[in-house]
Chains A and B, each alone.
Chain A
Amino acid sequence: MPPEPEGETPDLTADASTPAVQITHLRKTYGQVTAVDNVSLTVAEGEIFGILGPNGAGKTTLVECAIGLRNPDSGTVRLMGLDPRTDREEVRQIVGVQLQSSSLQSKLRVVEILDMYRSFYRNPADMNELISTLGLTAKRNAYYRSLSGGQRQRLSIALALIGQPRLAVFDEMTTGLDPQARRDTWHLIDAVRDRGVTVLLVTHFMEEAERLCDRLAIVNHGRITALDTPAAITALAAGGKQVRFWPSAPFDDHLLTSLPEVIRLEHDGRYITVIGSGELVNAVILTLHAAGITAHDVQLGTSNLEDAFIRLTGQQPAAKGTLS
């Protein structure tokens, strides 16, 4: 998809007549702190939509308001056209949720937990099929407390899917998982989408958002700072410029970081990578030349979503495998 929005908080309206998620001017404050500040977004049915932002950006509050766990101060939420607060019974039948940091009874077996959750829904999924899809067959009679982090997370995802939801909400579903378990989970989300389920995905991992999401909203300080496809956000935010070289003599980083074109600078052995926008290459080369330094082996590149994230939020994204 081509990048199209130019405004500060673009509100892309999807094509489908009844969107899976429609949030309009949502606001939630805790005392003096505004956790969610005038957020509007629309998710089309069948989409994987990401909400990406640093820790404490308001992602979880936004999602909790969206699924009716919290009452927003103002604004409206519609899930499949329903209000999660007034139509909560119906909404809970069609929306499956995997919450961050929620546990289960340690001495219940996998199959007992699933069977209990299954009984809550009018039209539940086939339990054995779900168990095998999620790779829990060998663990079906294991106690919850004996499961590894990845297995617990898969069980949590299974619980979100057991009611055959039309919308699945996953909050930080791969936080704390090792890289292999994370990639397995991504395959799973692809499979979920292939069944026609809309997915709302909260994450602070760049790679995850880039890999999975059709569109994503970058949230910071409770506001949406960008909303588009991952590729479009990257292009929009960073201007897509990178210069890599090794200098003929060492110099103070400030020489380049003080330039308006430069966003940041990275050292990698003798090499230096400068990320920025506009006439980045000219600015860097000319500034170095004026200081009597030659840039050797100059390579140009385009920046990725990670650079966009830093540009849009002013923060480093979480490193791979970091626990939140």
Chain B
Amino acid sequence: MNASSTRTLPRTAPPGALGKIVLNEARLAWRVPGGLVSGIGIPVVLLVIFGELPHFHQHLAIYGGDTEFEVYVPTLIVFSITMLALWGIPNQLVSYREQGILRRLSTTPASPLWLLAAQVVVQLCITVTGIVVMIVLSVTAFSATAPRNYGGLILSIALCIAGLFGIGLSIAAVARTSGGAGNLGRVAFFPLMFFAGLWDPLANMPQWVQDIGHYTPVGAAVEALQDSAQGTFPPFAPLLTMVGYAVVFIIIAWRFFRWE
């Protein structure tokens, strides 16, 4: 439809308006805590379970001397990001579109894009909180080695978030109903979690599976996070892979997002 009519970006609403929208979205995230549960609760519970398993704390050559638990920390970080990106964001935005909330907002000096931005900000805060909780818990409670290359770690997390949020926003863009968004999210979720090594770390897979994994956003993210944890700056290949996914999917989301 006439996308240009609603895509005009900045409006002359007073400063502070975006802050109010973010505040309300944060209240909603707290009152309807599905995102908190799936983005922080489930990965943290898994982290605690894995941390309690004695054989997860053996140093293994196949993991470059790391323990299986240490290998799982990046996987659970990616799991948390994927949960919020693929379920949290599309679910919320598509239901806002279905209920006419985006449309209602586009009759005011605020843009519906602000609500989208507020959603991303709130999900981002939940994601970052979950990641910090998991890293701190893994180091303090389960004696994992603290990450040694913080620059690499932060860059890897940022690119992973950009790529996966891009995929989530693309799902929100093309899905017509929240049911459809849920289905697309599930279809994308399970293969991604496989390549993130949730069922078994990628290092235990046949070489060709690992090769494919390197070109998925989650496989690349886990690889880059593991390198950062071990103290080396991640190589360009996984970083570039994540940049590629981020660029492509953010463009798709931008191009195809329907406001009503």
Contacts and interface: CB of A to CB of B under 8 A. Distances in A.
Interface in B104-128: 104, 106-110
A122 interface: yes
B12 interface: yes
Most buried by B among A112, A113, A119: A119
Contacts of B21: 116
A159 B105 CA distance: 10
A163 B104 contact: no
Contacts of A99: 100, 103-104, 107
A280 interface: no
A92 B27 contact: no
Contacts of A105: 24, 28, 96, 101
B2 interface: yes
A299 B133 CA distance: 84
A61 B31 CA distance: 36
Contacts of B16: 119
B239 to A, nearest CB: 37
Contact of A107 (B11, B13, B31, B96): B31
Contacts of A163: 108-109
B64 interface: no
B100 A85 contact: no
A262 interface: no
A101 B5 contact: no
Contacts, number: 87
B99 A97 contact: no
B109 A92 contact: yes
Contact of A104 (B17, B23, B32, B101): B101
A112 B99 contact: no
Given A70-B5, A108-B27, A120 B110 contact: yes
Interface of A: 67-71, 85, 88-90, 92-93, 95, 97, 99, 101-105, 107-108, 112-113, 115-117, 119-122, 159, 163
10 contacts: A69-B103, A104-B101, A104-B104, A108-B28, A112-B24, A119-B17, A120-B110, A121-B108, A121-B109, A122-B12
Report, nearest first, the 5 A-B pairs whose CB atoms are least far apart: A102-B100, A103-B99, A97-B107, A102-B104, A119-B20
Interface of B: 2, 4-6, 8, 11-14, 16-17, 19-21, 23-24, 27-28, 31-32, 96, 99-101, 103-104, 106-110
Given A107-B31, A108-B24, A108-B27, 17 more contacts: A67-B107, A69-B5, A69-B107, A71-B5, A90-B12, A92-B107, A93-B109, A95-B107, A99-B104, A102-B104, A103-B104, A117-B108, A119-B17, A119-B20, A120-B110, A122-B14, A163-B108
